[in-house]
Structure 1
């Protein structure tokens, strides 16, 4: 499903643990790391797509997470020209995403990257809050930054921590996440 502007509807998932760290996973047979994400089916709401993608990519079910927030609208990114499939119609030029902030309430043994027949990830770890925005593939960085900026105040309250933006951290020399 691609909209009239060439964007594929998609959901992105920021999974937060109790320490304020985020789930970060490596794509199968690639060196790229990212948050779980995936396309929406035409008969799904963003929430339904999020739960389906969460289970397919991480093995987690609804009882293992708590939805804390969503972005208020679509966040878009364009694909680099080398990834645009010009022979396909309608042509997809990028993704438009609704992002979800989830609190992980399960146990780490619930995380199963092999939950689907075609796993998308082969490794995962917990990372500092701003790490993904600095290390995701370049064409997704702006969307990651925007989603994380929207979620940062909620994470600070939920985890009782202070999250300093990387630019301010570079200027002041302080840490990614400091205790409140």
Structure 2
């Protein structure tokens, strides 16, 4: 289901623990990491889609989490044409997402990546709040930064993105 501009409605999930670290999932049989996300089915609310995706991808039930906040509006990103299925080329531009910030009130052992027959992730870890921006695939970086910036107001004690970047070691090119 695409909107008239070619964007597929989707939800993104930022799950934090008691230390304000974020859940970071490793895609099955890939070396890429991302936040849980997934499409909104026709007639499904963004919140219902979020709970469905949370169960399908992370194995968590509503009682394992508390909603802290969500983005005010849709955040969009374009998918490079070489990533788009051939049959969708010309009509599909990318995703439009409502992002939810959830706090894990259950335990780490409640996470079950094999809750369905088609797992999305085969590994996971907790990561510093801002770290995913620099390690997610490039075409998602801007939407990750916008989502994390907007949702950071709901997280007590999380440093600013600028402070996080200021304490990261400088990267040097070869020969420096």
Q: TM-score, normalised by structure 2?
A: 0.91
Query: In 1, distance between residues paired with 2:148 and 2:167?
Result: 21
Match for residue 152 of structure 1? Answer: 152
Measure how far apart 1:89 and its partner are: 7.4
In structure 2, list runs of 5 or more residues that go unmatched: 170-176
Corresponding residue for 1:41?
41
* SS of alignment partner, residue 88 of structure 2: coil
Question: In the alignment, is the contact (CA less than 8 A) between 2:81 and 2:89 conserved in 1?
Answer: no
Please list the CA deviations of residues 70-126 of structure 1 after superposition, one character each: whole Å capped at 9, or x if unmatched: 100100000011012343378221000000000000011110000011000000000
Which position in structure 2 is the counterpart of 1:178?
none
Q: Quick one: distance in 2 between partners of 1:115 and 1:101? A: 21
Q: Is the 8 A contact 1:67 1:102 kept in 2?
A: yes
**Matched residue, 2:174:** none
Q: Note closer, same or farther for the CA distance 1:90–1:41 as it changes in structure 2 (3 Å cut).
A: farther
How many pairs align? Answer: 169
Q: Given the superposition, is the C-alpha separation of residues 81 and 112 from structure 1 closer, same or farther in structure 2, using an over 3 Å criterion?
A: same
User: Partners in 1 of 2:94 and 2:67 — Cα distance?
Assistant: 26
What is the RMSD computed on CA atoms of the aligned residues? 1.7
SS where residue 112 of structure 1 aligns? coil
Residue 10 of structure 1 aligns with which residue? 10
Structure 1, unaligned runs of 5 or more:
176-180
Q: Distance in 1 between matches of 2:90 and 2:3?
A: 9
- For 1:35 and 1:105, the matched residues in 2 are separated by 18
Spell out structure 1 runs of 4+ moving beyond 6 A.
Answer: none
